[in-house]
Structure 1
Amino acid sequence: MNVLKAIPVLMLPIVLAVGCATPAYVEKDETTDFSRYKTYAWIDTDKKEGKNRHNNDFMKRNVHESVNARLQKEGWREDKTRPDVLISYDILVEKTTREQSNPVYSAPFRRVFYNPFYRRWGTIYYPSSFMGYDYGTAEVREGTLTVTMVDAKTDKTIWQGWTTDDVNSRNLTRKEIQSSVNSIFRKFYVVKR
């Protein structure tokens, strides 16, 4: 009986973690048989030279490590000589504005009064009350990570997953990349159908 009571308590962190994850979207080629794919290689799509090259190296390494870990968990392995699938990624960070609505409350206050019946002073406390919403816009940065799989023989896109989330700067951190990759590859089960 105690085990049945503990199950909801143990499931709560899992439900909260899944509920807080960023939404991910996946498209796949319906005519492709994914059971024949077991190896992959990365396509080098980053040819930029310049001042942000080292930051891009960090992001590239973080994306590769995160995706490699998820694919190896699925039973795939990296093969640079004769891969079945070629994988590429794209990161886009852009500024955008978002409408916000913030609740507005009145300030709490007290009123002091004299009670002639009891012949003493009393205090009445008035708590804050809801007044409405304050609408405005705020500038935010949104980062979009897209992972694309291409058949190495036919050069046809067979799977693509992407997610968008708020980020703090132009460069995504390791934690943000891992969160995005995990959100995308939670839907990798789509390929097994």
Structure 2
Amino acid sequence: MKSRLIKFLGVAAVILVLAGCGPSAHVETSRNANFDRYRTFAWAEKKDRRGRTGSSTMMENQVKSAISDRLQSRMGWQQVSRNPDVVLSYDVLVERGSRVESDPRYSWGGFRTFYNPYSRRFYNVYYPSMFMGYDNYEVPTKEGTITVTMVDTRSDETVMQGWATDEVNSRRISGREIDRIVDAIFRKWESGSKNNRYNERGRNGRANGRY
């Protein structure tokens, strides 16, 4: 029974650690935005200081593809080349970061040999190892942040901006890392949208005397 409990606690600890290692996402939306009326989107053009449109890298194409796929599959929006409801832009940033790791620290444990002068014999005494706490240290990492900005084409107002940060392996964010970060943004956005609709129904119900 005790061994099963230890195994259960170990599995639970691993699950909690993995759950806390996901991308950290934040989303801001405009109070004036009505996302239910949006149906189409397009991408803003990236130009250099001379006004020339540069070619996109493979990583940039992966970012755009990840965002477009989620808008189409989750929101039901369509990407168009003329008269979109919203225009999208994005930014990718990779910075140096660090994370704190901990190693358990134990006292010395083992046998020590002593001599009994009265019996003229040697004997061993066992000293158990004792838990003394943790040694904390910082590990250098790289953190990748993707920011998605959505602008209403009729009013030129920013109606949504979301960003998420996750640990990455190199300055070039991989496709899998891009999917994790973009997915975190959309989960946060969808969660906030559901809460906003719930609160709006609640306010309307109270105003009509239903509560």
Specify the TM-score bucket, using the shorter chain as the normaliser.
Answer: 0.7 to 0.9
Does the alignment pair 1:147 with 2:148?
yes
Structure 1 gaps of 5+ residues are 1-11
User: What does residue 208 of structure 2 align with?
Assistant: none
Secondary structure of the corresponding residue to residue 57 of structure 2 = helix
- The percent of aligned pairs where both chains have the same amino acid is 41
User: What does residue 5 of structure 2 align with?
Assistant: none
Q: What is the CA distance between 1:129 and its match in structure 2?
A: 2.8
Q: Decide whether the 8 Å contact of 1:28 with 1:191 is kept in 2.
A: no
Query: What is the CA deviation profile of residues 8-67 of structure 1, one whole-angstrom value per residue up to 9, with x for unaligned ones?
Result: xxxx9xx8776543221110001111111010011133649xxxx99x612112112211
- Aligned AA for 2:142? R
The count of residues paired between Structure 1 and Structure 2 equals: 173
Q: Decide whether the 8 Å contact of 2:90 with 2:146 is kept in 1.
A: yes
Q: Decide whether the 8 Å contact of 1:62 with 1:177 is kept in 2.
A: yes
Q: What is the CA distance between 1:146 and its match in structure 2?
A: 0.6
CA RMSD of superposed structures (Å)? 3.2
Larger radius of gyration: 2
Q: Decide whether the 8 Å contact of 1:29 with 1:158 is kept in 2.
A: yes
- Aligned AA for 1:163? A
Which fold has the larger relative contact order, with Cα–Cα distance below 8 Å and residues 6 or more apart in sequence?
A: 1
Secondary structure of the corresponding residue to residue 163 of structure 1 = strand
Q: How has the CA–CA distance of structure 1 residues 136 and 163 changed in structure 2, closer, same or farther, with 3 Å as cutoff? A: same
The 10-residue stretch of structure 1 (148-157 or 177-186) with the greater mean CA deviation from structure 2:
148-157
> In the alignment, which of 117, 125, 128 is matched to residue 126 of structure 1?
128
User: What does residue 66 of structure 2 align with?
Assistant: 66
TM-score by length of 2: 0.67
Q: What is the CA distance between 1:113 and its match in structure 2?
A: 6.2
Q: Decide whether the 8 Å contact of 2:149 with 2:160 is kept in 1.
A: yes
